[in-house]
Amino acid sequence: MSSQQQQGDDWIRITSKDGFSFVVKRNVALRSGTLRNMLDEHNFAEAVQKVCPVDERAAVTEKFVEYLAYKASYENANPNEEIPDFGERIAPEIALELCV
């Protein structure tokens, strides 16, 4: 495992089921438990190829990735820093699908 990987600085491709792919930094991807399991050091296909399939359509996957980025940037935020509400960014069309 390279040092780059440990720092979470390399890129991971997240693919939606309708063929879109989103490239995110590893430490963003690792915000998700599922993705983390996939990318763990057990050398499954996902970890080797750095591609994680997500079984959703692109719009939902995008919001999902956006949430991960949001979480990554505010997770270690200062308690007195103002954190914008993520809920405002969710469009009503995809809300249901995101929920489930």
Partner 1 sequence: MASTSKKIKPKIKPSRKLGPNIDVDESWAKLTSYIREIQHHNAHKLSFEVCYRLGYQLVVSKQGPMLYNGVGDLVVENLNRLAEEFVLPTFPSGLEQDPMQQSQEGERLLKALHKVWRDHTDCMDKLSHILKYMDRVYVKSANVLEVVELGRDLFVKHIIRPPIKDHIINAILNLLHIERDGYVINRSAITNCVDALLQLSDSPDGTTVYKRYLEPDILRQSDTYYRAEAEKLLETCDTPEYLRRVQTRFSEEESRAHQYLSLQTSAPIQAILQKTLLIPHLQTLADMPNSGLDIMIDNDKLDDLSRLYQLYSLVPEGMPCLRRSLKDSIQKRGEELNSVSMEERELGDGGAEDELDPSAKGKAKAKARPPNSGAQGLALALRWVEDVLHLKDKFDRVWGVSFKNNRDIESGLNEAFESFINPHPRASEFISLYIDENLKKGLKGKTDAEVEVILDKTITLFRFITEKDVFERYYKAHLAKRLLLNRSVSDDAERGMLAKLKIECGFQFTVKLEGMFHDMKLSADAMQAYREHLGKTTDIGPEVDINVTVMTSTFWPMSYAPVPCTLPPLLVKASRSFEQFYLSRHSGRKLTWQPSLGNADVRVAFKARKHDLNVSSFALVILLLFEDLGGGEFLTYEEIKSATAIPDSELQRNLQSLACAKFKVLKKHPPGRDVNPDDSFSFSADFSSPLQKIKISTVAARVESGEERKETQDRVEEERRYQTDASIVRIMKDRKHMTHNDLVNEATRQLASRFLPNPLNIKKRIEALIEREYLERCEDRKSYNYLASHTSFYYGTADI
Residues making contact with partner 1 (CB under 8 A): 32-34, 37-38, 40, 42-48, 52-53, 55, 64, 67, 71, 86-87, 98-100
Closer residue to partner 1, CB minimum distance, 6 or 34: 34
Considering the complex, what minimum distance in angstroms separates the CB of residue 47 from partner 1?
7
Q: Is 23 helix (H, G, I), strand (E, B) or coil?
A: strand
Cα–Cα distance measured from residue 50 to residue 38, given in angstroms and rounded to the nearest whole number: 9
Residue 65 near residue 22 (C-beta atoms within 8 A): yes
Q: Which of 24, 68, 72 is nearest to 50 (CA)?
A: 24
> Considering the complex, what minimum distance in angstroms separates the CB of residue 41 from partner 1?
9
Provide, rounded to whole angstroms, the least separation between the CB of residue 33 and partner 1.
6
For the bound state, the minimum distance from the C-beta of residue 12 to partner 1, rounded and expressed in Å, comes to 14
Look at residues 64, 86, 68, 55 and name the one whose alpha carbon lies nearest to residue 27: 68
Based on CB atoms, which residue is closest to partner 1, 23 or 95?
95
